[in-house]
Amino acid sequence: MTQIEKFQAPQPGEDQAIFLVNVVHVNPGQQDAALAVLRDTVQYVARTYPAFEWSRLYKSIDGKTVINQAQWTSQDAFDSLFHDEEFLSRYNGLKNTGTWEFHLYHVSDYIPQALTAAALAE
């Protein structure tokens, strides 16, 4: 596992970025299997799509969900995933682990820790 860097303030141009939040509601005992499907799928995407910036995969503490949060530079590039047979063959493996839904977002606000915000204001 790689070390996760401290969350940073938005980078220049990030206000135009597309953020994916994909929530998988896993069947009992299938959290690790869902995570493995997403890991494999995201690794393929990372090798194949230049508009893909990064992904974070999350496991809920209660074992009921997995989340894929990802940043893209282009919604068109993201949408093109669903015409990619290799992507679909990997992603559809989630059907064996539970149900899911995803939505795309733009950042509307960035709220840092109060101590950090005070230090930046000085």
Q: 49-106 pLDDT, tens per residue?
A: 999 999 999 999 999 999 999 999 999 999 999 999 999 999 999 999 999 999 999 9
pLDDT over 50 (residue 3): no
Give the residue, 23 or 122, on which the prediction is more confident. 23
Provide the residue range defining the domain that includes 55.
Answer: 15-121
- The mean predicted confidence, pLDDT, of the chain is 88
Q: Does residue 5 lie within any of the structural domains?
A: no
| Residue 57 CB neighbour total at 10 angstroms | 17
With respect to residue 54, please indicate whether it lies within any of the assigned structural domains. yes
pLDDT score of 2 = 45
Assigned domain for 10 exists: no
3-state secondary structure of 65: strand
Q: Does a structural domain hold residue 8?
A: no
**Pick from 98, 95, 92, 83: which is nearest to 40 by CA?**
92
Inside any domain, residue 9: no
pLDDT band at 120 (very low <50, low <70, confident <90, very high): low
Quote the pLDDT of residue 60. Answer: 98
Q: What's the domain count of the chain?
A: 1
Name the pTM for this structure.
0.82
- Strand ranges (E), the chain: 18-26, 52-59, 65-72, 98-105
Task: Give the model's pLDDT for residue 13.
Answer: 61
Cα–Cα distance measured from residue 109 to residue 15, given in angstroms and rounded to the nearest whole number: 10
Q: Which two tokens stand for residue 100?
A: 């899911």
Per-residue pLDDT band for 114 (boundaries 50, 70, 90) equals: confident
CATH classification at residue 59:
3.30.70.100
How many residues are given for the chain? 122
